[in-house]
Amino acid sequence: MSTDASSLILKTVLTLVLVSILVNIWETRRKGIALINSNKKSTKTTKKSNEKIIKTIKDSEVKIATVLEKRSKQDFRQLEALVSLHEMLDLKAALPPTRGWAASPDLLLTLTSLVRKYKPKLVVELGSGASTIVLSRAGAVEIVAIEHDLEYLKNTQELLAEHQVSNVKLIHAPLIQKEILEESFMWYDSSKLQDFKEIDFLFIDGPPGSKDDAARFPALPVLGSKLSKKAVVVIDDTKRSGEKALAESFANALPNHKLRFLDHEKGTAIIEPL
């Protein structure tokens, strides 16, 4: 994608966002004016009630503008990151949908930068999808992606074929009840995992943690000891308390590393060598 094309896309999106804000404000005002006119026909309506309606309209306009501005900035930021990804990576096909359950473009762009900086030989990824393609295209030598959902794993297999990626090993490891440090967790079936020795880059984006704060905690006791001395750990969704706590636990377990949080759409933690 050329720089001119990227610039045009960004300008177009920004224009659409501004139009959306104006339309929402206009619609709120139109409904409010209609309500006031309706009240004028009623003998029971007082000047005070109309003033209250006008205040409500103005307050609503401010709230709508604030929400839309925040959302538009986030959307614009994600689009910028997505455009940068396409410019930086030698993609052989379109990326699957990002955001939502999937990794957001800002995180994918960070993964690209980190892989290019640290040049890891072995990357282990908890979860799979667009991030698997990005990690490969960014320059990772070998990637092992662990996926609990068989259907999602098949989708990733198709993605790998479309993008002509051959350095990824996909492992189907269903979630099972596990006893770790005298606590019970639903985590990947460790018997399905190979015996990792020197993990240079660990990306934690699974298993799903929206309903269980501690869903991803086992990554530390199970894989922490298998990290190389200069390993990098990246954790998605750190705007949630469970993932934030996990990042802090990893940092405490790696005294020669530093922890930083990035204000990404869903929050990202990076634990990297000092």
Indicate the pLDDT class of residue 182, thresholds 50, 70 and 90: confident
Q: Return d(Cα 163, Cα 159) in angstroms, integer.
A: 6
> What pLDDT score does 1 carry?
47
Span 139-159, pLDDT tens digits: 999 999 999 999 999 999 999
How many Cβ atoms sit within 10 Å of the Cβ of residue 217? 21
pLDDT at 40: 54
Residue identified by tokens 């379109």 is 94
Q: Is the pLDDT of residue 14 over 80?
A: no
Torsion-angle region of 187 (φ positive above 0: left; ψ -120 to 50: alpha; else: beta): beta
| Token representation of residue 88 | 């930086």
CA nearest to 116, candidates 98, 95, 130, 137: 137
Give 158-171 pLDDT, tens digit per residue.
999 999 999 999 99
**Separation of alpha carbons 209 and 268, rounded Å:** 14
Residues 265/104, Cβ–Cβ less than 8 Å: yes
Cα–Cα distance measured from residue 65 to residue 20, given in angstroms and rounded to the nearest whole number: 10
- Model pLDDT for residues 195-231, shown as the tens digit of each residue: 888 999 999 999 998 788 899 999 999 999 999 999 9
pLDDT number for residue 4: 42
List, as one string, the DSSP characters of the chain: --HHHHHHHHHHHHHHHHHHHHHHHHHHHHHHHHHHHHHHT-TT--HHHHHHHHHHHHHHHHHHHHHHHHHHHHHHHHHHHHHHHHHHS--SSPPPP-STTSPPHHHHHHHHHHHHHH--SEEEEES-SHHHHHHHHHT-SEEEEEES-HHHHHHHHHHHHHTT--SEEEEE--EEEEEETTEEEEEE-GGGS-----EEEEEE--S--SS-TTTTTTHHHHHGGGEEEEEEEEEE-TTSHHHHHHHHHHHHH-TTEEEEEE--SS-EEEEEE-
Q: Using CA atoms, how far apart are residues 122 and 230, in angstroms rounded to an integer?
A: 12
pLDDT (0 to 100) of residue 5: 46
Return all residues near 165 (Cβ < 8 A) that are at least 6 apart: 132, 133, 136, 137, 159
Predicted pLDDT of residue 2:
44
The single-letter code of the amino acid at 26 is: W
| Distance (Å, whole) CA 121 – CA 230 | 11
pLDDT at 139: 95
Position 161 scores a pLDDT of 94
- Averaged confidence pLDDT in the chain: 83
**In the chain, pLDDT over 70 holds for what percent of residues?**
74
Encode pLDDT of 55-97 as tens digits: 766 666 666 656 555 666 778 888 888 888 888 888 888 888 8
Task: Tell me which residue has tokens 């103005």.
Answer: 58
Nearest alpha-carbon partner for 141 in 161, 124, 155, 157: 124
In the chain, the percentage of residues whose pLDDT exceeds 90 is: 55
Distances, alpha carbon 254 to alpha carbons 95, 191, 197, 266, in Å: 34, 26, 17, 24
